[in-house]
Structure 1
Amino acid sequence: MKRLLSYAAPLFCAALLLSSCDSTPRERQEAVKNEARKLDTLASTAAAKLRVAGRRAARFDSISRVRSRQPLDNTATQAFTRQLLGTYADIDQLTVTTVEPAYTQLLRQTRTLRRSWSQRDWDYASAIYKRMNERLKAIRLDLPARSELRIRALQAEFVTMEASRDVKDLGDAVSK
């Protein structure tokens, strides 16, 4: 196949040159102008689409900032904590032996519920996740390395799911 292409390329170029010999400079100039117009139209269309997408992305970012500045409701936070963590809902009482199962429970529930969550639900889940990370910092020095490694993997998965949702929502906002 490669050998065939190496023979075909010079033949194509030769055919192109021969057909160019059959045209006048004015005809070639007109052909170039037409191709330039087509390229200009394509560039203008692409630029317009980029402008629209940029405006939509900026609007999404603005709305997201406003939402994230609004304080979370304490009652809703407690209910969300119970829903996500179950018996581990008292984050301040997590110990070296219960912190890993608490992260596991958080991820299990997040995997199950995330597809139905709004961005505000993710705000609540992120707040819970941050509180768990603060508790982990407090007890980390007593944590076995094996448990810390598992927790880091669960943290990476949580952050990935959250970022995936942000990217999906941004893509939806831009493509509307």
Structure 2
Amino acid sequence: MKGELRNPLAGLKSFGSVLLAALLLTSCDSTPNERRAAARTAGRELDSAARTATHKLARIGKATATYNAANRARRARPLDPRQQLAMEATLLGPYNGQINSLTPQDLPAAYGQLVRETRAQRATWTDRDWDYARAVYQRLNDQLKQVRLDMPARDEVRVRARQAEFVSLQAGRTVKGIDAATRQQPK
């Protein structure tokens, strides 16, 4: 019988030697008092890190609430139609004034123009400028809803990619605003 143990005590001998080695190694590395002191120190460090993280999280939460309140108050004010037209002219270039007449073939290029201009100018924009840009973006989206069923799938994919990029740029601005509000919070 090939795979059976010929000596039933052979397995116990190897287990016993492993157990003995483990006991010798664990008993030699430290005393209970040293382990207790190390655990106490690690516990204090963990508590300190938890307090710091809690404090930072509270600051970020307050800053986010402050930013959101200011954001809601700003958005509650109506947009100036003249500035809205100026922003549309800036962002859409050759498609300015044509949003409601854009065809399924024109929409991908119009979204491309919007994203290119947003990328180029976003560094100098205020939150209010982003409100006007968002209004232009919303008007393009409304036109897309009107003609989407007539749009080829490949063009719709390009439009969706540009929409995602615009939303990403906008989210980046929001993050910067929250970061600035966090820096203004007292430490």
The answer to whether TM tops 0.5 is yes
2-side partners of 1:104 and 1:157: how far apart? 10
- Determine if the alignment matches structure 1 residue 41 to structure 2 residue 48: yes
Alignment length (residue pairs):
162
The equivalences for 1:65-84 within 5 A come to 65-84=72-91
1:6 paired residue number = none
Consecutive unaligned residues in structure 2, runs of 5 or more: 1-20
Which stretch has the larger CA shift, 83-92 or 43-52? 43-52
**Residue-by-residue CA offset, 1:66-119 (whole Å, 9 max, x unaligned):** 122221111110000001111211211222332222112111111111122122
The structure-2 alpha-carbon separation of the partners of 1:158 and 1:30, relative to structure 1 and needing over 3 Å to count, comes to: closer
Residue 137 (structure 1) aligned to one of 128, 145, 149: 145
The structure-2 alpha-carbon separation of the partners of 1:77 and 1:32, relative to structure 1 and needing over 3 Å to count, comes to: same
Percent of residue pairs identical: 42
The structure-2 alpha-carbon separation of the partners of 1:142 and 1:41, relative to structure 1 and needing over 3 Å to count, comes to: closer
- Determine if the alignment matches structure 1 residue 156 to structure 2 residue 156: no
1-side partners of 2:120 and 2:48: how far apart? 47
The structure-2 alpha-carbon separation of the partners of 1:42 and 1:106, relative to structure 1 and needing over 3 Å to count, comes to: closer
The structure-2 alpha-carbon separation of the partners of 1:17 and 1:58, relative to structure 1 and needing over 3 Å to count, comes to: farther
Which stretch has the larger CA shift, 97-106 or 30-39? 30-39
The structure-2 alpha-carbon separation of the partners of 1:144 and 1:38, relative to structure 1 and needing over 3 Å to count, comes to: closer
Which stretch has the larger CA shift, 49-58 or 116-125? 49-58
After TM superposition, the score normalised by the length of structure 2 is 0.72
The equivalences for 1:18-167 within 5 A come to 18=28, 20-21=30-31, 36-90=43-97, 91-167=99-175
| 1:126 shift after superposition | 0.8
The equivalences for 1:10-25 within 5 A come to 14=25, 17-18=27-28, 20-21=30-31
The structure-2 alpha-carbon separation of the partners of 1:19 and 1:119, relative to structure 1 and needing over 3 Å to count, comes to: same
| 1:123 shift after superposition | 1.0
2-side partners of 1:38 and 1:140: how far apart? 58
* 1:84–1:109 CA contact under 8 A, matched in 2: yes
| 1:17 shift after superposition | 4.6
**Residue-by-residue CA offset, 1:132-152 (whole Å, 9 max, x unaligned):** 111111122222333222212
Query: Which amino acid letter does the alignment assign opposite residue 49 of structure 2?
Result: L
2-side partners of 1:154 and 1:119: how far apart? 21
Structure number, greater radius of gyration: 2
* 1:53–1:175 CA contact under 8 A, matched in 2: no
1:3 paired residue number = none
* 1:96–1:143 CA contact under 8 A, matched in 2: yes
